[in-house]
């Protein structure tokens, strides 16, 4: 199995494609891009969450489903990465 292609920001291209599908018209995505300022609202959060769980075949624990988790691509990718490696509840903060 081939490893997913990575972007310059460190996440895989599928993650960025999903973000761009949910937030069309968003400019360059950096780890600290403000997703709320880019148009992420509660309905789009649900769409993004379902897309991430389907795409990566993960389940993100309810206790990490906060606005902070969805504040930036970097934070969200960290949660997705943790879930992919079986530690979705380990926020490390």
What SS3 state is found at 46? helix
Question: What does the pLDDT look like over 32-44, one tens digit per residue?
Answer: 999 999 999 999 9
Q: Cα 17–13–50 angle (5° rounding)?
A: 50
Are the beta carbons of 58 and 16 closer than 8 angstroms? Answer: no
Looking at residue 90, the DSSP 8-state letter turns out to be -
Cα(88)–Cα(18) distance, integer angstroms: 20
pLDDT, residue 2, reads 56
pTM for the model stands at: 0.84
Question: What does the pLDDT look like over 1-13, one tens digit per residue?
Answer: 555 688 777 899 9
């Amino acid at each position: 199995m081939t490893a997913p292609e990575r972007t310059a920001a460190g996440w895989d291209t599928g993650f960025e494609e999903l973000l761009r599908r949910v937030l069309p018209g968003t400019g360059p995505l950096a780890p600290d891009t403000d997703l709320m300022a880019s148009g992420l609202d509660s309905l789009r959060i649900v769409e993004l969450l379902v897309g991430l769980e389907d795409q990566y075949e993960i389940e993100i624990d309810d206790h990490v489903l906060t606005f902070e988790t969805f504040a930036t691509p970097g934070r969200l990718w960290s949660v997705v990465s943790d879930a992919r490696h079986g530690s979705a509840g380990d926020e490390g903060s």
